[in-house]
Structure 1
């Protein structure tokens, strides 16, 4: 079966007093990418991370950082996150998102566009292949929310895009199904954090069998 080459761990649902420990634990288990959620309390519920904290934790664990800007005006936030993240994602529903994408490119990073569950995928029909797509399987900022089954079809509609991701309620089993639909990138928080053996979870998702052991 086809696995997922890029697996990013979100620390949104981690105990904030233990974020550093959780980041280190996942890095020791083999996590290579950490997904930093950024919110403004308007576009999505408050609860995201600040760039200084995220940059320090990224450096201390040796993983690669990516940012997900769940904010109304992403252009204001781009420079802080492109300083240390390889991929920066903005929402297609946000103000001036195209300008934010252009700024990410000018800053030498990879841009991606997130599409919320109730937004038509046709909104990004003209998006160049060089821009990644992150299909949201729950409402932005709704960690622990129910997976939207229609997300599989939405991923399939973008199949072939080099950077095609899913975010929200992604379990190891769902990751295998989504990889089969064309996903090359998955973001997981709750399921990965709660896995008895995160190393086995990561191995299963990368292999595409959806059956973590341990």
Structure 2
């Protein structure tokens, strides 16, 4: 059975001075979950959200939170983000010396583990941890900044992840997520390739008809591409 389409905003384009109101507005607009792009200024050249910021926003909405840990030390930081209210932690294969151990540690903390793959990272990097994760994130930009252009050449890679999951008997249990440049003109390609969790940032916030229209429009386009 195909995994359902899920629209998940990145809050990077939000007004940081009122994040509680921002996450409440996203929930009201119909998003399925909210992603927090956690950057350490080392793995990527930017700094963003600490666990206390996420914890303060957690009380303002009920949709699940996931933390995309674009950091060099996910093992050190994981427990703080789980305690802050993130039910899924996404780590980068490129940042983890012992990826299997890192995923296991996240599961032991009571959260779901997931793995992100940068554009140049092969799908094989996640092949041997499929039993420990519930999501593979295929980056369709190089991580670190919002508003980047979608790399369409990642679509065969999304399809490759789908094929790998089918071969491993995990297609019904593991989501395929894409992050980077997702909007009205790009979401269909990602969804048709096999992605079911679509991260959108700038496209949601710049829709002249508002967040609710943006969410429903992206969902409709993704579902049409998968039908």
* TM-score, structure 1 normalization: 0.89
- Deviation for aligned residue 1:130: 4.9
Cα separation, 2, equivalents of 1:5 and 1:146: 22
Q: Structure 2 stretches of 5 or more lacking a match?
A: none
- Counterpart-to-counterpart distance in 2, 1:107 and 1:168: 28
For residues 9-88 of structure 1, what are the structure 2 equivalents within 5 Å? 9-83=9-83, 84-88=85-89
Judging changes above 3 Å, is the alpha-carbon distance between structure 1 residues 5 and 34 closer, same or farther for their aligned structure 2 residues?
same
Aligned residue among 190, 194, 199 for 2:206: 194
Residues 85 and 209 (structure 1 numbering): CA distance in 2 closer, same or farther, change over 3 Å?
A: closer
Runs of 4+ aligned structure 1 residues displaced above 4 Å come to: none
From 167, 185, 197, give the equivalent of 1:173: 185
1:135 matched to 2:138? The reply is yes
Which structure dedicates a bigger proportion of its chain to helix? 2
Deviations 1:76-132 (CA, angstroms, capped at 9, x unpaired): 111011222121100000033332211111112211100011112222232315522
> Which position in structure 2 is the counterpart of 1:102?
104
- Paired residues in the alignment total 210
Higher relative contact order (CA 8 A, sep 6+): 1
- Determine if contact 2:44/2:71 at 8 Å carries over to the other structure: yes
Cα shift at 1:35:
0.5
Q: 1: distance between equivalents of 2:160 and 2:17?
A: 40
Rounded Cα–Cα distance in structure 2 between residues aligned with 1:3 and 1:203? 18
Task: Give the superposition deviation at 1:69.
Answer: 0.4
Deviation at 1:61, TM superposition (A): 2.1
RMSD: 2.1
